[in-house]
Amino acid sequence: MRFAEEVLAINQAARQPVDVSCFMLPQSRTSGFVVEIPGRAISVDQLMVNKADVEQLRSWLASRITPEMLAEAAPPRAPAPADTPYHGLAHARHAHVPLADVLSIYIDRNRGKWKPNTLHTNSDRCAILLELMGNLPLKDIDRGALWHVVEKLRKLPDGRQHVRRRFKRPETTFTELIELAEQHQLPRLSTQAIEKLVDGFGEIFTWAVTQTCLTANPALKLGSEVFSSLGGKRSKASQDRDQLSPDDLKLIFSVEWFAKGVGTKTKEGLYYAYRPYYYWLPLLGLLAGGRLNELAQLYLADICCSPSGVNYLDFNLDGEDKVNADKDGADAQGASGQDKSLKTINAVRQVPIHPRLIELGFIDYVQALRKAGHARLFPELQHDKTKGYGKHAGSWFNERFLGKQLGIKRDGRKTFHSFRHNFSTTLGDADIPSIVKSQLMGHSFGKAENESRYDKGRRIDQLAEHLGALNFGLPDGVNKFSITDGLQAVSDALTLKKSRRSGVKRPT
C-alpha cells in the first residue's frame, strides 16, 4: 500500500492491531507499507510485484552491505576434522603396547596353571615370535606380518636344540640358527612343525583378544592356511613314524650289551659307557609296546603279579606326581616335569610281561633292584623338570645310538616310538581282537570300554595268552641280562651323578 490512510482504515475495520511493515523505495522519499489484512488470506500467486522495483530494491540493499557485515553474518566455520589415528587390530588404548610386553604378561598370567612342559613350549613359541616378528606395537601386527614370520620359519633348521649342541652354541638365536642352516645345508622345519608353531601363535593372540588387547585374532586359522600353501599333506598318526625293518631290529639287537648281556667296563673296572636301560628299554618297547616316557618312569611297584601268577606292567596314575604327558606320533617323547606321566586315561592299563623278557632275566633283575633298596626300575635315569625321565633315554636312543652308533638316518621317521608301531602291526597281523589290542596299546576302547572294567585278573590271563604267542620280530642272539653287572652299572651311574652335582671330576 502506498498511503498511510489505507493502513489506518484497515486497522479500524479490524478493530484490533494489525502487523505493518514500512519500507522506502530506494533512491526516493516514497514510503510503502505491507499489511496483513485480517480475515483474508492472500496467496503468493495473488501478489503483484513490479519486477523493476524489486530489482532496484535488491541492488540498493546489496550495495549497502560491507565486507565487515558479511564476515559478522557468516556462520562460524567448523573446525577441520583431525586425522583418525590408526589402531589396526588393537584396541585404541593398547595400540602402542609393544609385543614383548604382551608376551611377558601372557606367560606370567598363565604360569601357575601350566605344567612345566607346557610352560617350556609356550615360552619357546613366544621367543620365536618375538625374535622373528620383532618387537612391533600391537597396531602393526596383522596377518601380513605373520606371513613374514612364516617365511622365516621355513628357513629354521629342524631339531633346534640338537643343532645348538652340535655346533656347541647353546645361546644361538633363531636368526643365527637360520644362518647355520643355510651354511651347512641342514634339514628345515617340516610343514607340520610350521603349522603347529603358527597354531601356537594363534593361541597367544586368542588370549590377547580375551584380554581386550586386540579386537581380532590375526592368526585365526592361519596354521591350516600355511599348511595348504606349503603343499602339506595330512597323514594318519600311524604314518608319522616308520616301523623298524627286520634288518633294523637285527642291527639294534646285535650290539654288545644284547650279545653279551652286559656292556664294557672302563680300565678302572667301572661302567660309564653302559646303563641297564640300554638293554631293557628297547626290549620293553618291542615286546610290551610301551611309550618311552611311561617305560622310563616305571617304579618297581608297577611290576606286579596276578593271583594266577601272570607278571605284568601296571601303567597307572596312582600317586601325587602321576599325570598325563606321553604322546603318540610326532610328539612321542613329550612328557611333563611331574615325576610320572601317562598320555591319557586310556593309557592306564596292565600289560603282561612277555615270556622272552622273563627268560632274559627281567623279573630276576626287578627283584634284585628291590633287594638293593631301589624304588624305580631305572634309577640311573635323570629326571628332567620339563621332559620327565624319558628325555635322557630318548636322547641316547634316537641321537647317539640309532644315529651316531648305528648310522640310521635321522629324519624323524625311525625313533624309539617305532617299536610301538612294530608292536601294533604284529598284533594286527595276528588277528588279535580289537578290545585286546586296544588294551595292550593303551588306546580308547570305544564301544568295548565298559567291558574292560570287569575281572582284571582274568583279563590279564587272557592278554598273556595272546601276547605270549607272538615274538614281535625279536632276532635270535640276545643273551641273558647280567644282573650283577647291571647293579654295578646302576651304582656307578648314581656315583657319577653325585660327583657331577658336587663338581668332582669322574675317573678316566
- Three-state SS string over 273-309 comes to CCCHHHHHHHHHHHHHCCCHHHHHCCEHHHEEECCCC
Predicted pLDDT at 28: 60
Spatial separation of the C-alpha atoms in residues 136 and 439, rounded to whole Å: 50
The owner of cell 636322547 is 395
Spatial separation of the C-alpha atoms in residues 360 and 321, rounded to whole Å: 31
DSSP characters over 65-104: --HHHHHHHSPPPPPPPPPPPP-TTB-GGGTT-BHHHHHH
Q: Residue 137: helix, strand or coil by DSSP? A: strand
Spatial separation of the C-alpha atoms in residues 65 and 43, rounded to whole Å: 31
For the chain, counts of helices (H) and of strands (E)? 21, 7
CATH architecture of the domain 239-502 equals: Orthogonal Bundle (1.10)
DSSP characters over 171-227: T--HHHHHHHHHHHTPPBPPHHHHHHHHHHHHHHHHHHHHTTSBSS-TTTTHHHHHH
Is residue 478 within 8 A of residue 258, CB to CB? The reply is yes
Is residue 178 within 8 A of residue 132, CB to CB? The reply is no
The owner of cell 614370520 is 149
Is residue 217 within 8 A of residue 239, CB to CB? The reply is no
Spatial separation of the C-alpha atoms in residues 67 and 352, rounded to whole Å: 107
Predicted pLDDT at 118: 86
Amino acid at 484: T
Q: How far does the chain reach from its first CA to its final CA, in angstroms?
A: 132
Predicted pLDDT at 429: 87
Pairing of strands 322-324, 340-342: parallel
Q: Residue 168: helix, strand or coil by DSSP? A: coil
CA pseudo-torsion sign 450, 456, 458, 461: positive
Q: Bridge partners of 24?
A: 31
Is residue 292 within 8 A of residue 326, CB to CB? The reply is yes
pLDDT digits (tens, 9 = 90+) for 452-495: 444 343 488 888 988 998 999 999 999 999 999 999 999 999 99
**With b meaning 16 or more CB within 10 Å and e meaning fewer, what string describes 371-389?**
eeebebbbbbbebbebbbb
What angle separates helix 276-288 from helix 362-371, to the nearest 10 degrees?
130
| pTM attached to this predicted model | 0.62
The owner of cell 612345566 is 116
Q: What angle do CA 276, 346, 464 make, to 5 degrees?
A: 60
Residue ranges covered by each domain of the chain: 4-65, 92-154+189-234, 239-502
Predicted pLDDT at 134: 96
Spatial separation of the C-alpha atoms in residues 374 and 299, rounded to whole Å: 9
Spatial separation of the C-alpha atoms in residues 404 and 396, rounded to whole Å: 10
Is residue 441 within 8 A of residue 291, CB to CB? The reply is no
State the CATH class of domain 92-154+189-234: mainly alpha
Residue of 390, 305, 287 whose CA lies nearest to 340:
390
* Residues of the chain below pLDDT 70: 1-16, 18-50, 52-54, 57, 80-82, 234-241, 317-346, 443-458, 502-508
Spatial separation of the C-alpha atoms in residues 137 and 97, rounded to whole Å: 5
Say which residues have a Cβ less than 8 Å from residue 307's Cβ, sequence separation at least 6. Answer: 457
